[in-house]
């Protein structure tokens, strides 16, 4: 983990702890607490096979259309799907993949 990632992780952990304390006093609803947990968790790691599965089975899109949906280049999607390239989505791209995987394409369209 890089120094910046460690800082971000620490800040998110402290934010989650503070929100939990506020929730214990009734100042944050259970719904908001659940949302905070989801926002603070790290998106999962995506293997090339998993990305291909999300694109073909869930999104049912070509690489070009899927790239446009995620606002990345087609070559980026190709690299993600290539086991040789060793390029994996991170940050916002990983979060968008997580949304498509869990809620479907409609989560990004509406």
pLDDT digits (tens, 9 = 90+) for 93-110: 999 999 999 999 999 997
Tell me which H or E stretch contains 8: helix 3-24
Long-range contacts of 34-40 (CB under 8 A, 24+ apart): 40/12, 40/13, 40/15, 40/16
Residues 76 and 102 in one domain: yes
Residues 27 and 65 in one domain: no
- Count of domains observed in the chain: 2
**Structural domain span for residue 86:** 48-109
Q: Does the model's pTM come out above 0.85?
A: no
Same domain, 19 and 67: no
pLDDT at residue 5 above 80? no
Residues 103 and 52 in one domain: yes
């Amino acid at each position: 983990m890089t120094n910046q990632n460690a800082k971000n992780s620490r800040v998110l952990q402290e934010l989650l702890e503070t929100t939990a304390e506020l929730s214990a006093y009734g100042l944050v609803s259970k719904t908001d607490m659940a949302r905070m947990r989801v926002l603070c968790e790290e998106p999962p790691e995506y293997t090339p096979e998993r990305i291909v599965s999300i694109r073909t089975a869930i999104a049912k899109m070509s690489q070009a259309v899927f790239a446009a949906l995620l606002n990345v280049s087609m070559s980026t999607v190709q690299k993600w799907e290539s086991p040789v390239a060793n390029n994996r989505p991170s940050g916002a791209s990983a979060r968008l993949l997580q949304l498509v995987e869990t809620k479907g394409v409609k989560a990004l369209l509406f």
